[in-house]
Chains A and B, each alone.
Chain A
Amino acid sequence: MEAGNPLLDDYVLAAANKAHPKVCFLASASGDADHYIVRFYRAFDASRCEPSHLSLFRREAGAPDLRTHLLDQDVIYVGGGSVISLLGVWRAHGLDAILREAWTNGVLMCGVSAGSLCWFREAVTAFHGEPQRVTGLDLLPWSNTVHYDGEQARDRSYRQFLVDGLCPGYAAEDGAALHFVGERLVRAVSSRPHARAYRMRCVRGRVVKSAIKTRYLADGVLPALPAGGGGRGLSVAPDSGPAEVLPTAIAAGARS
């Protein structure tokens, strides 16, 4: 949903690995801002997917049962804003449990900014005031920070938190996205030529930051994902049982 740059949107739809996937937008982190919802419908238009949104501030309109609607999706897309407000309002509607269920069932989870932070065990947010640690939904047992380019206070704080015992994790610059299958990072992609993602961990009291090979999405066809996680993680069980869909999440750092 970056202005004039559909690369990450296209990537998400391709990762759904299905023609005309159902995509539900959650704008909770922005307080269900109307302009943001409109922008979603423009980016994910009905010609290539089946878009919908859930407003947690206007429950009298919209889908009567949140769980039924969310479990029926192929993709759940979480918008940016305040991750602290986001997690508060989700808990009030039981969405923390529903989203975990959806992810476990194989619905592709993705989101930008606060919508990236929320999937991780812990996140570093600098939305207001000093950067702070926030406990997320813990689908991914890592830490995460976004908008990693150019914010020195955020980098300093992330490093200090790692030294203080924050779990290892991933930092994404604007435009970079991390693609996980299960708990494992399988790919980093970007909608901007120089956007990067980094692996961050603390080894014997020192922070180690390593750049992850981040593929610019305009540079042609992507190589296949490693075995066990093709696209959305569709694989057939060896005993020819039903197709198994692996839980997948795409967490993007793009400032939208």
Chain B
Amino acid sequence: MTPGPKTPRIVAIGGGGFGSTGRDHALDAYIAELAGANLGVARAADRPKICLLPTASGDPKDQITRFNATFRRLGCDPSHLALFRLGDQPDVELREHLLAQDAIYVGGGSLANLLAIWRTHGLDEVLREAWESGILLSGVSAGSMCWFQAGITRSHGGPRPSPGMGFLSGSNCVHYANDAARAPSYHAAMLAGELPGGWGVPDGTALVFDGTDLREVVTARPGCNAYRVDVVDGQLVEKICEARVLEDRDPAPELDPALAEFRAQHRRASGLSRGPRANGWRSPTF
């Protein structure tokens, strides 16, 4: 690590990312670039170290494989910690490994499971330490909401509010335009006083915080923006936070069409839709 303090930074992604379809490749590249910036002068020639925590979905091997392939291709030195299979990594000490990274990337899944498991392993404390020491914290979906005071999660079935670790003030709703039931649930919970104001973020789009301040919104999907949502005088107020479109200088290879079809079928079978503004949900008017 280079001497001297670095800015604690969090990149909170609304959905998609690392090679899932290739379309959010610019976002993966952006994370790799920020990780590289953490190398400083002394280690400028090194490959930035980035560690995946796939805890929220139970450490599935395909997620780890995709992560490694994506970030290796982007010039990083990827690794992962699978808390369910630590027996396979006998020599890894969790705190030491995480604090040696330039960036930490938290995968999506169940927010409630993620935090419960981290706490039993003491990782909540380690991640705060990592953040304060300037290691880039990033994550998608549950891996985005975990940094905030609260989020809207499907950890228990239907969408409902669930607490995060509170590194960042406010709440976070991911898949904001992509999951038909989530945004209405977010708005209802906020109106009921169960959630503080916060940010709704669609897939392929990310909030970037320096310290605890929102620095900018970036997106790999032109036309997508984030939304700041608050309750003012008993009314919901949604303000657009325009996203800077990230340029994809080195697009990832297209997904195998057979695999794309398999995934589409799987999504249909599980009743989930990833299409923008699917299932008739439209942005509420205020």
Contact = CB atoms under 8 A, between A and B. Distances in A.
Contacts of B112: 92-93
A30 B58 contact: yes
B115 A31 contact: no
A89 B119 CA distance: 10
A128 B94 CA distance: 10
Interface in A79-100: 81-82, 84-85, 87-89, 91-93
B120 interface: yes
B157 A89 contact: no
A203 B116 CA distance: 37
B97 interface: no
Contact of A81 (B56, B84, B272): B84
A30 B120 CA distance: 15
A85 B157 contact: no
B86 A89 contact: no
Nearest to B118: A88
Given A57-B113, A60-B157, A88 B84 contact: no
Given A60-B154, A93-B156, A127 B115 contact: no
A194 interface: no
Contacts of B121: 84-85, 88
B271 to A, nearest CB: 8
B21 interface: no
A81 B88 CA distance: 11
Contacts of A30: 58, 84-85
Nearest to B82: A31
Given A57-B110, A88-B119, A93-B156, A31 B59 contact: yes
Interface residues of A, number: 25
B154 A59 contact: yes
A157 to B, nearest CB: 15
B119 A128 contact: no
Interface string B110-139: 101101111111000000000000000000
A95 to B, nearest CB: 11
Given A92-B113, A93-B112, A128 B60 contact: no
B270 A89 contact: no
A59 B110 contact: yes
A89 B93 contact: no
Given A30-B84, A60-B158, A88-B116, 12 more contacts: A31-B57, A33-B84, A34-B60, A59-B156, A89-B113, A91-B116, A92-B116, A93-B156, A128-B86, A128-B89, A128-B90, A129-B86
Interface of A: 29-34, 56-57, 59-61, 64, 81-82, 84-85, 87-89, 91-93, 127-129
List 10 tightest A-B contacts by C-beta distance, closest first: A31-B58, A128-B86, A88-B120, A92-B116, A31-B84, A88-B116, A88-B117, A92-B112, A57-B58, A59-B157
